[in-house]
Amino acid sequence: MKRIKPQSNKVKTVLATVVALDGSSYRKPGVRMLILENKIMIGAVSGGCVEKDILRQSESVFRDGQSKMMTYDGRFRLGCEGILYILLEVFQPEDDFIAEFKTCLKSRNHFKIASYFSKEEGTHSGIGTYVEIGNEKHFVSMVSIGNDTLSTFSQNRPPCFKLLIFGAEHDAVQLCQFAALNGWEVSIYSSPIESKTIKNFTGATEFYAITPDELNMSSIDNHTAIMIMTHSFANDLKWLMAVKDTEPTYIGLLGPIHKRENLLSHLLEYHPDIETSFLEKIHGPAGLDIGSETPQEIAISIISEILSVTRHRIPMPLKEKTSNIHA
C-alpha cells in the first residue's frame, strides 16, 4: 500500500468528491473537482451553485490538512430536491503515483477509486480516498483511512471513452473539437497524401497519416466509437473493412442512405461471413435528426447519437419524460 504524500515544491490541492446524495441532483455521487491553493477550481460537482461553498469550506483543509465532510442542501437553492454529501481532502500525488496512473490510462486498464465517509459534517477519523491500480492501493489522505463506523462509496472506472475519426476534412475537425470538449480521447486517421497534422485538430489526442492496412486494431475496444467520414466511397470502404474484426460500441458512416447500402453491399460481397453483431453496430447516416445543417450542428448530432447508443437511451424531449431526468 502506498500513500499519496504531499510535496513542498508542488501547488497544494484539495480534492472534493460527492460521495452520497439524498434525493435528486444535477450531478450524481462520483463527480469530483480539484481546488488549488490559489483558488483556481478544476472541474465542477454541480451546475455552478455548490462550488462557492466548496471553495470556502476547503480553506480549513488547506490550513490544517484534515479531511472533512460538508453537506449542501439544494432543496431551497438548486430546486433539485436533494442533499449532497461532499468529502474534502488534501490531494498531493507523488511522481510514482502519477506515472503509474498515466500508464493505467494509456494502457486503457480499469482502476478503482473508493472513499470512506460520514454523512455528518465536520472532521472524522478515517474519512478519505484511495485509488487502486492493479493490486496496489494509493491513499490520498495522509492519515489511516477506513473503519467500521464509516460508509463507503466506490467506483470501478473503465478506460476513457475513445472516438476514432477516419477522415480529415473540415467536418472531421469540428467533430474532433466537440468530442474533445465532451472529455473523449480522439484519434484522427488521415491519408498519407494529405497535408494535415495534429495541429489541424483541436483537442485530438493522436494523429496518424496511414493507410487502412496499417491500422493497429488493438486500440479498438468496447469503450470506442468509430466515425468513418473520408468523403471518398473507396476510402470509406477500405476503413470499414479494416475494422471488420473489431468490437467497438458504435460505427458511424457519413453520407446518405444509398451510400450506406452500397458500402454494406460491397462489404458483404468481400466478406460474406462477417458477424451480424458487427453490422448491427453500423449507423448510417450517422447522427440524430435534429435538423443539422452546418458541420458544427452535424457534429452535435453525431455525438448525441453516440451517447444515446452507448447509454442505451431512446432519444426523446425531456419534457415528455415522466421519470427522473438523470435516472
304 in the same domain as 225:
yes
Q: What is the 3-state secondary structure (H, E, C) of 105-120?
A: HHCCCCEEEEEEECCC
Section 159-171 average pLDDT: 96
Percent of the chain at pLDDT above 70?
93
Please give the mean pLDDT across all residues of the chain: 90
In a domain, 215, yes or no: yes
Boundaries of domain holding 72:
2-157
Output the pTM of the full model: 0.86
Q: Of 123, 157, 191, at which residue does a domain stop?
A: 157
Per-residue pLDDT band for 79 (boundaries 50, 70, 90) equals low
Q: How many domains does the chain have?
A: 2
In a domain, 140, yes or no: yes
Per-residue pLDDT band for 80 (boundaries 50, 70, 90) equals low
What lies within 8 Å, CB to CB, of 57 at 6+ separation is 68, 70, 86, 88
Section 92-99 average pLDDT: 85
In a domain, 198, yes or no: yes
174 in the same domain as 92:
no
CATH number of the structural domain spanning residue 238:
3.40.50.720
